[in-house]
Structure formats: structure tokens, C-alpha cells
Amino acid sequence: MTARTDPARVMVAMSGGVDSSVAAALLLEAGYEVVGVTLRLWGGESDSGCCAVSDVDDARRVADALGIDHHVFNLGDHFESMVVGPYVADHAAGRTPNPCIECNRHVKFGRLMDRAGALGFGLLATGHHARVVERPDGTRRIARAADSAKDQSYVLNMLGQDQLAGLLLPIGDLTKEEVRRRATDLGLRTADKPDSQDVCFITRQHGRGDFLGRRLTFTPGRVVDGSGTEVGSVSAVELVTIGQRRGMALAGGAAPRFAVDVDVAGATVTVGPVGDLMVDTTPVEAFSWADGPMGGTLLVQTSAHGSSDPAVLDGDVVRWSEPHMRVAPGQSVVFYDGDEVLGGSIARQG
């Protein structure tokens, strides 16, 4: 039986970083009944500042300092099946995935949010730099954070009305500097802790190639130019992404050349000048919307901290107002109305 939820009870996802630490503190100050939860997702090596044993310890100590209960949920199996496995499969198919977005989709705002409700919590809070805004008709959307340099609205593009109704983002109206100042004033151990970087299960020491090499059989491939002439080689087609310039052992040619197409099945990478990366359209799939499908002229963003550019969403094709950099299949393509997220999709092979 599902527990009856209490809107005054908030489960705070505490990663062990300064943002979620301050989020918990602000909610406590606001009078909520706050409980901290840290997710244990990855049992292997991690040096990204996320998912490491030390992060669990930091979260627990912050919770102790705030005087709130703290729990650790082991969702490693779910993380493996919904994030790590698809990450490997995408590379094997020549796509460039975004595992942090899939973790948000399936773990933080999927399994964790469900568990929060089952345990009687009316709300889930995180330390993301973004805002939840309520519109005049009562619907909600994710909106950009006050600190544009830290804005994380792009990685929350999958959230719908049910999730937004139960979500608090306490630091969305603060700059990073203000967050750290609050943490310092409260004497929290995470006040000066560096931000997490990169993918939590890919270590900086060993890298993506080493991780995938233990899970995939790499395919050596040839590199050709636009005319089909062989101009180089790669040791693993699966590690090449659209826009890549280095690591392809290219022969001759003074002008820089970039990967413009990756064909894993054919063991071939096509390269060309930067102009070959510019396209008029981007095909997309796997839509998610905040409050119903949209179309027509929208602002579209194709990377976490990239620009949002005007385009027309025509069915499953984004038609750019001006030539746009090619988007690697597997990457998120997110739709905005001003600062508000309308929804998202994933770039597909065209």
C-alpha cells in the first residue's frame, strides 16, 4: 500500500555537494520537515566528485550538521540497466549519449521520486540550478536559473506535470557565489567543495575508451573524405563522435577536418571541413513535453551550455533559421519559450 503523502515532508537528494547541501538548509529554514537521501549508484571507480564513497560521507555529515535524518538508497542495479547499459549500447551503435540526462529521467526523477511518494513524502528537492515556475493556467515548467553560467534547465527537459508538481529546486534563484556564501555562513563542510565534473562512472585517469573497452569489442575503421577517398584510420569507430577533430590519424591536408558522419556497421568515419558540419535540419525522436506537444517556431538548444537558437519544429524535424552545427545522434535537443523549457527530444541519424 502506498503511504499517504504529506506536503510538508520533503526528501532532499543530497549528492554530497554544496548545492544540495544548501538546498536542504533552505528548506529546513522554510519550515519543512526535511530528510536527506544519498543515492549509491555506482560501485566502481569514481573521481568526478559524484557517486564516490567520500560524497556519501560528506552528505551524511552535512545532514548531521543540519540536524536532519539521512539515508542511503542503493539503486545501483537500476542505474546499471537504465543508464550504464544504454550508454554502452549507444556507443556500439554509433550514437553519442548523455548519461546524466538519462540518470535524471530514470533514476532521480523516476525511481527516486516514486520511492519518495511511497514513503509518504509530498515533495522531492534537488540542488539543480534551475527553477520551477507556475503559469497562470496552473501548469508548471522548468525555467532557467538565476545563474546563467550554472543553469541546468537543459538536463531537466524531460519533466512533466506530475513530476513538476512534486518538485522543489531551492537554489534556482541563487548564484553559485551566493550558494557558497550560504554554506560558509552555515559552517557546512561542502562550502568550498569543487563542482562535480564529467560522467560519474568514467574516471579522468582511465577515460571513456578504457571503460567502453572493457564492455565492448572495438571496431577498427577507415576514415574517408567526402569523395570516399581514404585519408586515415581509427582504432575504434565506436569512440568517434560528430564534430571530433583529433584521434583519426589523418594524412595530408592543411585545413582542419572534422568527423561529419560515423558508420559503425560499415566501420567508416567521414571527415570534412568545418563547413560540412553545418546543416539546415536536425531529425529528432523520443519527445517529452512539460504540458503537451508544441510545434512551430521555438528556441532550440543542443548542448548543456550552448546557445538557444530559433528554429521551426516540423513534426520530427528541427528546421533551423540559419545553418546550425550538426548534432550528434543521441544528444538531447531541448525546446524553450524564452527561459521556460517546453520539452525535449533526442537527435537521431538523418
Lowest mean pLDDT among 3-12, 185-194, 204-213: 3-12
pLDDT recorded at residue 1: 34
578504457: which residue's cell? 210
Which of 5, 2, 1 is closest to 120 using CA atoms?
5
How many helices and strands, by DSSP H and E, does the chain display? Answer: 9, 17
SS (H, E, C) 332-346: EEEEEECCEEEEEEE
- Distance between CA 312 and CA 332 in Å, rounded? 16
Q: Which residue has the higher pLDDT, 99 or 7?
A: 99
For residues 326 and 260, is the Cβ–Cβ distance under 8 A?
yes
What the block records as the C-alpha cell of 113 is: 521520486
pLDDT recorded at residue 198: 72
Asked whether the predicted pLDDT for residue 47 surpasses 70, the reply is no
Tens-digit pLDDT profile for residues 272-289: 999 999 999 999 999 999
For residues 188 and 22, is the Cβ–Cβ distance under 8 A?
yes
- β-partners of residue 269 are 223, 262
pLDDT recorded at residue 2: 44
Residues 235-256 have a mean pLDDT of 87
Catalytic member of 50, 51, 100, 103: 103
Which of 268, 269, 266, 267 is closest to 258 using CA atoms?
269
51 included as an active-site residue: no
Pick the CATH number of 276-347 from 2.40.30.10, 3.20.20.100, 3.40.50.960, 1.10.10.1150: 2.40.30.10
Lowest mean pLDDT among 70-84, 136-150, 226-240, 244-258: 244-258
Which residues belong to CATH 2.30.30.280 in the chain?
217-272
Tens-digit pLDDT profile for residues 296-321: 999 999 999 999 999 999 999 999 99
Q: How does residue 49 score in pLDDT terms, banded at 50, 70 and 90?
A: low
Asked whether the predicted pLDDT for residue 80 surpasses 80, the reply is yes
Question: Per CATH, the architecture of 217-272 is what?
Answer: Roll (2.30)
528537492: which residue's cell? 125
Which residues belong to CATH 2.40.30.10 in the chain?
276-347
552528505: which residue's cell? 59
For residues 290 and 343, is the Cβ–Cβ distance under 8 A?
yes
Which residues belong to CATH 3.40.50.620 in the chain?
7-127+170-186
User: Considering the entire predicted model, what is its pTM?
Assistant: 0.94
Residues 21-39 have a mean pLDDT of 97
pLDDT recorded at residue 246: 87
Catalytic member of 50, 51, 100, 200: 200
CATH 3.40.50.620 fits 7-127+170-186, yes or no: yes
103 included as an active-site residue: yes
What the block records as the C-alpha cell of 186 is: 552555515
Average pLDDT, the chain: 93
Tens-digit pLDDT profile for residues 322-331: 999 999 999 9
